[in-house]
Chain A
């Protein structure tokens, strides 16, 4: 489908890339100690900087834009209007989502121009580990995998996002999707994706999607008329539902039964 795999091999993130750049305010509950793993050693991060010589972005400007859009509002937004702290954004965390990497990718994309002077359309994906400071139980682990995708293009509509999600889940044999309005600090509109589960006899949430907020994209320098879809789902949850696994520790971690690995049939999602 034309998706480039993102370099998600970076578990340690800064508050800036994991939260601030995504327009998640510094008082947001997701940034609480109960939800996010903070790093004590190394004690603090550096300010955002270029990683490769071909990177043409101005990172200092970006840092300022993010501060401005949170603190005073910018790009047609009134912002959250609170004193934004640079120190808070330079705290190190274990990433709570791979969207931190999507953000860095989109920021890089904003620095590219095609022959016609426009930022080129792009599609990105990743499947990788994320970390949450959860109380561990049968359905929660402190680590799980997130499947994530990004589509950046011109002239996209919400109906296009739903059409894409229908195709994406349809390829895995999941059909009859319903879309529910939801809240997410970095996407607007935000849509939770539900599918009717015959075994459980109810609608179950299978993923999240939305259009990234202008506060996030325009801070990077992406053009106003570029629409960026984002979608994400956990890898473990739908797998548990599909294979009738009741405990996530049977699927991920050292407690997995090796008999289960050996005897589980090959995955054929297109064969019901």
Chain B
């Protein structure tokens, strides 16, 4: 969730009320935002600085990513403000400022929009908020500028009509924002390579044959999205007229960003909430249009649906009133079963009537909604068979005095293979693409690494140590949709001054007895289990056996037990002998 930092005194002034920490906390709670921090009593706050509120905003409320958005929506919620009527200035299309998109932009960043905030009056606070909102939108909705990038300009330093073009880097020369020297497009990557802020956006353009640029009528570069604006057109506190350019790889996100940017700051214009549109001309694909759209959307929602899920019985008029607290305009429809709900251009999070329904519930108050029984139909519960089976094994082990442990599923490749003297055949283990550390390279294919690491961490305990685990390993399986499956295993490890082989074997016999499996002769035909010597490098030679099960006449190897090889002990930093067993439990289902 994005966190927005606002000036506490300014916000309370905008809300027209001095809240206590508790009452403000409650307001946030009811509305669905979260007061994370109030620096009022923070000793480290400089005395001359106003206290800050750190407010967490739900990730889909792009219209609340700045001071203005929070103040507007909390005021609407508290009935102190009607939803603003955001509108376009009444300018004939042929008089509009224009932004012409050329076909070449399709190679790199095909969409663009523009808007003008006319006769705006910034204060330091609103200016800072304007910059901060761009940053928040870039980080969140715009996915680190990959989807949308915003550039803002002092319109009085540049001159329309504007063009949005894509040109070879060598043809680009301009002084970037906060620089004094002109740079060439070919030097852009190296120039910003080590810039902590801008460096992380370079990958969006790297190796592209052309870079996108916004140019004015005099072919002056206004910005090179999504990296940097020009120094020449930068906005200041004194800027009166702001030209906003937005470029994108996603049309829907572009429209949302465009509406949010102008809606939040048009209140500081001489004519509040009025935005001067820009005509965006795309002759190459015939999609000429006027931006921002500021389009509202009207939905007809069933009254019974809204009431039904909320457990309410409100009239359409009363629902309309509730919805007005959430920035909608709603009115009863001609059909008494429906209510006409108009969604403001800022509420891009509203996709379906269920979003309206939630807002009815929020406006009413979640904690005030009438309670009803969740037990409408009778259903019969059932445990998952493999978990029932595991519980039997788990209990038997505990009764035999073994401690259950719960290591992690993920481990390093070495722990899973090399340290156990096992070879990765490439057909068994699921490997991860993006682990942060070597500890999480593969999903384990054996319980042994976890058991041995647990022993290693508990060497100070009184010996012998007897631990067990009933849990899943992951195995590749090309025949399945997910190309992998879990397998439930039962593993045990004995750590002590003697090998403990017979103790582990005893545990195996006990659990097999409880699962109604007899120890049988290898050569016979009876169902049951038996063990047979193996020579595998994980184990000490002559001290290891495979465990076989014959079930309905079908013979299969289900696991192995043995004394671990000294090189394995060394890798896991264990000083005394360890005997282990590991078997596939799914055979016994």
Contacts and interface: CB of A to CB of B under 8 A. Distances in A.
Nearest to B310: A158
Q: Which 10 A-B pairs give the minimum distances between C-beta atoms?
A: A181-B32, A157-B311, A183-B58, A254-B453, A121-B377, A40-B433, A164-B374, A189-B358, A42-B483, A2-B379
A179 B361 CA distance: 11
B410 A142 contact: yes
A197 to B, nearest CB: 15
B410 A143 contact: yes
A39 B433 contact: yes
Given A120-B377, A156-B374, A229-B374, 5 more contacts: A75-B352, A82-B253, A92-B482, A254-B457, A258-B405
A239 interface: no
Contact of B252 (A8, A29, A82, A188): A82
A79 interface: yes
Contact of B483 (A7, A9, A12): A12
Interface range on chain B (Cβ under 8 Å from partner): 35 or more
B399 interface: no
B143 A131 contact: no
Nearest to B474: A11
Contacts of B511: none
Contacts of B409: 11, 129, 131, 143
Interface residues of A, number: 96
A163 B379 contact: no
Contacts of B380: 2, 4
A193 B362 CA distance: 15
Interface stretch (B265-273, B434-442, B554-562): B434-442
Interface in A129-146: 129, 131, 133, 135-136, 141-143
B349 to A, nearest CB: 8
Contacts of B476: 41-42
Interface of B: 1, 29-32, 34, 58-61, 140, 143, 147, 250-253, 297, 308-311, 349, 351-355, 357-358, 361-362, 366-367, 369-374, 376-384, 386-387, 403-410, 426, 429-437, 440, 443, 450, 453-454, 456-458, 461, 465, 467, 472, 474, 476, 478, 480-486, 488
A233 interface: no
A45 interface: yes
A176 to B, nearest CB: 11
Contacts of A257: 458
Contacts of A163: 371-374
Interface string A8-19: 111111100000
A145 B234 CA distance: 51
A247 interface: no
B78 to A, nearest CB: 15
Given A40-B432, A156-B376, A80 B482 contact: no
Nearest to B59: A183
A45 B352 contact: no
A79 to B, nearest CB: 7
A214 B147 contact: no
